[in-house]
Structure 1
Amino acid sequence: MDDIHSQTVFDLVHHFEAEHADISSKAIKRYRSNLELYSMFLYALRGYADRYPLDVINFNGLQILKYLYEKRKENIPFIRFLGKILLLLSRDQRTHDAFYAVGWVRILHDMALDKNNIIYSLLASTILANLDRPIHD
């Protein structure tokens, strides 16, 4: 990690992207190690999303998840995992405005209509249903 000069989580995520790894054995080992960190980051984010959804929102979690979705939308297990994080965030009504602001509603709408992938459809429909709940004062 000493060779990573990252100021933001976006920089860190960008560093882990496959197209930035060279093919030397040292780089491949470093890349695999980075993927493990990447995975731990997402698992930690899932835990925080459940307990501290507003913190995740305030630290640009929805933007990061959207970036990851756009990079990996063909990877069904990965998107299913992201969907679970979004589902946890959507349970807290205080996060709903952020979903609209970041542009997740359009993505979720398209996922909900995906006839080829029931996993996408069910997760997206559930998240959209959470976002559609009336606010009780």
Structure 2
Amino acid sequence: MRSILKKSKLAIIIPTCDRAVAIESLLCNSAWQLKKYGIDLIIYDSSSNDETEALITNFHADGCDNVYYHRYEGKFDGFSLDHKLVQAYKDYVDDYDYIWLCRDGLIVTIDNCYKELFSAMNQKCDCIFVDASFRNGEKLLLRSM
């Protein structure tokens, strides 16, 4: 379902495998909020079934057009997650200024941090670290090379 038409500043990529319930919770709690700020959400999936893809298709059909599905069919070995994350970066690095990798059990609540996050992106920092402290209202850690 990859058809990103415009370059957005930020994409949140969620690597997942056989966790449709977690993805459904994430979508219900975050997808529309992320759309409000122009943030794309990419579910990078290697599940053994089509449940996760069906969820994304339904959200997309309901107008949440910032949500995308990507089926990962790469290497599956003892380092599968590593291969998957590297491939996700390769697949989307040209489409976004920033990529934020999140685990599939995390509910992203961007309302609490978007002003400072977008300010950091506008400063064109090479790397922005978002951790639990930041999500609780502390400062971002910025890194420029």
- TM-score w.r.t. the length of structure 1 is 0.25
Larger strand share, 1 or 2: 2
- TM-score w.r.t. the length of structure 2 is 0.24
Higher relative contact order (CA 8 A, sep 6+): 2
Larger helix share, 1 or 2: 1
Q: Considering only CA atoms, is the larger Rg found in Structure 1 or Structure 2?
A: 1
